[in-house]
Structures are given as C-alpha cells and as structure tokens.
Structure 1
Amino acid sequence: MKTPVLPLFALAAAAAVPGQAAAKQGDVQLKLLATLVVPDGKISDVELDAIGLPAGTQTRANDNVTPTIAIEYFVAGHVSIETIAGVTQHDVDGRGALDGAELVSDAKIVPATLTLKYHFGADGGIRPYVGAGPSYFIFIDEKSGAAAVALGATRQKMDDSFGVALQAGVDVPLNAKGLGLTLDAKRYFLRPTAHWYAGTTEVLRTEHKLDPWVISAGVAYRF
C-alpha cells in the first residue's frame, strides 16, 4: 500500500531539527526530486486538416514520473532564483471519436524553467515559498502514433513553445548542516502547435492546451 506524500512531509515537519543556518546571499541549494508530470494536451484549435479527422476528435497526453534536479541560488535571504533539469516522456491519445487511439508516440520534453521565488517563515525553520517565471518547452524525438499513421500522417513534429510557470512549495530542514526535505508544485501554461506530415506535405496542424501540473518531492542540500 502506498504511503501518501503529504502525511510524510507533515511527520518530517514535526520532527524537523531547528537551528539550520539562515539562508543568505550567495547560498546554493541543490534538490534531487521525483517528479509527477500531469499534462492536459487537449486540442484547442485545428488550423489545418487534410486527412479528415472524425467529428468530435479530442486528445489527452498521458502522465509520467521522472527524476529531476533543481538548482537554486539565493540573491537574498528570502529571495532565490531556481531552474530545473529533467526530461519527461508522453504519448498523446485520442478521445471522443478516436478514443484510445495513439496519435503521438514517445514525445520527450525538456521543460526549461526559471522561477523567481520568495521564501516565508523564520530563518532556519520550515520555509514555504511561492514563485513564478518563464518556461520554454523543447520537444525531442516525437513520432506519429499508430492511429495517425493509419490516417496517413507518417511523421509528426511539435513546435517548441514559450509559456509561464506558477510555483508553490515548502522546504523542511532536517539538520543544522543544510539537509532538508522539499515539496514543490508548479502549474505551466502553454499552447504548443503540433504538425503531422505525409512525406514532406503537412496534412494536419493543431494547437494544444498542454498546461501540465508538475509535482515534485525529494531531498535538498543548501551550502
């Protein structure tokens, strides 16, 4: 039976060791995380359709769990800049008239993100934070799914896309040497465009509401 993440963090907070040194300008915090990526992926607009999508066709991207690394630099005691590194992989399946049909296979995404964060709480104690910043999603090695190939679209490409991320989380110190636990949630807002080709001819172009939730938990070390 799986143990809920939030109760684990509540127990850690109750057992946290007070007295961790206050964050100061120039500190760096490294986080090793397990990250759940929950995208939407629905079609928001069909810009070109030369293959005759069935009426009522809609799409949904699958969820994925992936390891990520976050690197955070403190520009002041309560203010930091953070970036994340990781790759997440998703299929896009049909809904409605093409329910369950695979339209995009193994699209790998690098969610390049930079957030400006403000940390609350007493120095050396439990510190909730909020943040926001730009993102740039880089799509790698995506392919047409079996259903798209059957419709005549043999090649697929997602446009890299700019967006914005909102962030909230909490850091929980475990000792006085910089070790801690961290829980983080981000919501991204972006609208990438997908292109399907038959040979070199574009036969389908759709805009998608990606808007993933990105939920991470792991360990942190500040030095």
Structure 2
Amino acid sequence: MKALINSAAALTMLAVSAALPAAPALAEAGDLLVRFRGIAVTPTGESGGVQPAFPGGSLTARTSVTPEFDFTYFVTDNIAAELILATSRHQIKGQGALAGVGNAADVWLLPPTLTLQYHFNPGGEFRPYLGAGLNYTVFYNEAANSNLVRAVGATSVDATNSLGWALQAGMDYDLGGNWVLNLDVKYINLDTNVKLTTGAGIQRTELNIDPLIIGLGLGYRFSL
C-alpha cells in the first residue's frame, strides 16, 4: 500500500511539473487503448488462525507472475474507464504452527477489475494517470498440496469469491504510431474465507491476500 501511495504521489508531481505547450491530444475522447502487460501479483496480507485445530497457524499466498490484458476507453481526453483481465495461480503457504507443512494448497484467481482514471497530460509524451474502482475475484481450481495431504489426510479446499476496491497509478510513454509503453501499479482489497475439509473435520480461516500488482507492457490506441 505504501508503495502505491509513493507511486501515485510521484506520478502526480510529474504531471503537475510537465508544463508542456498545448498540443493535440494523443489520447482523445472515444479512443480505445488496448494494452498487454506482464504483471507480478504480490500478496501483502495473511490469514488469522486456522480454527479450530490450528489457532497458532496461518496461511499466506505467494507471488505469481502472469500476463494481463486491459482495455481503456476514453470518455474525455482526460477521463477514461479501464477493464483489467488476468488470471493467476498462487501457492498458499503455512506459517506459525503450520510452517512445517510448507505449501499447503494451490488456488487460481480470476480478478476482473474496473477502474475510473484521470489522465493528466493527454497531449504529452509522458501521460501519467491515477485510478480507483472495484474488483470482483473468482477463486477456482482450489486444491490441497501433497504436503498438506501427507500431514492431515485427503483434504478439499474451498475459497469464497471476493468483492473489494482497487487503487491504481501508472504512466503511458508515447512510442509513436499509436504505440505506448506502459508502467502500472495497482493495490486490490481482496479477502476470502477458506475452508479446509478433512476426514477429521472442517478448518476455517479468513485469508487477506490484498495484492500489490506491478505491470509493464505495450499498448496500442484505436481511434473509434
């Protein structure tokens, strides 16, 4: 979260300081900007105790690297809406009383995110932006790791879907010919309830994933 705030402050300062002569907007109302990024999804949170058997144990999700597509539609030269599409696989690691288990489970996340953005310098070479919006994350293909199965027996893993908010800061750099280089940072409020079902009973915990997502990629602008 601190990294996102620092990035947003730096981008805002750059936008204010970029007092460039007036020029035709390179991203205009009605344009569609399609980007392809490589992203690192780094969880910043962890779970509480795993109840009732492991109150001193917790779970945390590991970083995942994956491709991402996004589609940005410019409502005005400065205001745009962005839809972010990606899916990522995360290993769930045991901590505390569960540290000996190591990787306890694997889960896949499908977190479509919609943000409303303000682009500070649509006619310039550097075009920073800030955004905020909503995220809905679908969990699928949850599975117990073999380490957990050896420790407690056959286990099913279920994680509830999540609705949360998102913050965003980024910058497009004009490469000419409608192409841009993009750097993007997002923080997503993402919490899920995890249920582990074994022959001996059911264990539950709330897992706060809350990822910081850093992406780098290329975009192409279409004039609609």
Q: Check whether TM > 0.5.
A: yes
Provide the TM-score with structure 2 as the length reference: 0.82
CA distance in 2, matches of 1:100, 1:79: 50
- The offset of 1:202, in angstroms, is 5.8
Partner SS, residue 222 of structure 1: strand
On the 8 A contact 2:77/2:122 being kept in 1, the answer is no
Instruction: Please state if 1:114 is matched with 2:118.
Output: no
Among all aligned residue pairs of Structure 1 and Structure 2, give the percentage whose two residues are the same amino acid: 37
Name the residue aligned to 2:217. 218
CA distance in 2, matches of 1:192, 1:43: 9
On the 8 A contact 1:81/1:115 being kept in 2, the answer is yes
On the 8 A contact 1:157/1:196 being kept in 2, the answer is yes
On the 8 A contact 1:61/1:92 being kept in 2, the answer is yes
CA distance in 1, matches of 2:83, 2:49: 31
Name the residue aligned to 1:137. 137
Mapping of residues 132-171 of structure 1, within 5 Å = 132-149=132-149, 150-152=151-153, 154-171=155-172
- RMSD, aligned α-carbons: 2.3
- CA change 1:75–1:122 in 2 (3 A) is closer
5+ unaligned residues in a row in structure 1: which ranges?
A: 1-18
On the 8 A contact 1:41/1:59 being kept in 2, the answer is no
CA distance in 1, matches of 2:122, 2:25: 11
Q: Which 10-residue stretch deviates more, 55-64 or 105-114?
A: 55-64
Name the residue aligned to 1:11. none
CA distance in 1, matches of 2:155, 2:189: 29
Name the residue aligned to 1:43. 47
- CA change 1:100–1:123 in 2 (3 A) is farther
Letter matched to residue 30 of structure 1: V
- CA change 1:100–1:198 in 2 (3 A) is closer
Mapping of residues 49-60 of structure 1, within 5 Å = 49=52, 52-53=53-54, 55-60=55-60
5+ unaligned residues in a row in structure 2: which ranges?
A: 1-22
Provide the TM-score with structure 1 as the length reference: 0.82
Name the residue aligned to 2:207. 208
